[in-house]
């Protein structure tokens, strides 16, 4: 099954952004994972809210053949149970970028909650 595409919520330079609703982490996302298309890993921040009764692991997958530092492996981050929120990233494109400028994220079995993909603005 293909990964579910999750789009960016753009942070605003010198401004504000109301809390985005995020994408619900459901059994399909847990089984297939998500993909961030057109990823800019160095400007990508993941906000993961865990509503499960136990801590859950969120894994950002190492890149494929185009990512020369992919040999360092995946990044696995534990998100605290029930209303736990973790911010994960930014990322090194040389380690995490997939072919076609994609970023792959997976969830541990039983994960529930939301994921929001934030894009950091460029410095001015």
Helix (H) or strand (E) holding 36: strand 34-36
**Residue 115's closest CA among 51, 38, 40?**
51
pTM beyond 0.85, yes or no: yes
What span, in angstroms and rounded, lies between the C-alpha atoms of 61 and 124?
30
**Residue 60's closest CA among 93, 27, 85?**
93
pLDDT digits (tens, 9 = 90+) for 7-60: 999 998 888 889 999 999 999 999 999 999 999 999 999 999 999 999 999 999
121, HSE (Cβ side, Cα atoms, 13 Å): 10
């Amino acid at each position: 099954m293909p990964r579910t595409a999750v789009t960016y919520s753009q942070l605003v330079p010198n401004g504000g952004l109301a809390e985005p609703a995020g994408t619900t982490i459901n059994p399909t996302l847990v089984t297939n994972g998500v993909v961030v298309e057109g990823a800019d890993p160095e400007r990508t921040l993941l906000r993961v809210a865990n509503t499960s009764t136990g801590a859950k692991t969120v894994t950002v997958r190492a890149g494929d053949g185009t990512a020369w530092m992919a040999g360092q492996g995946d990044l696995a981050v534990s998100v605290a149970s029930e209303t736990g929120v973790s911010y994960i990233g930014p990322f090194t494109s040389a380690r995490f970028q997939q072919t076609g400028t994609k970023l792959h994220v997976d969830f541990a079995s039983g994960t529930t909650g939301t994921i929001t993909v934030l894009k950091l603005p460029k410095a001015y």
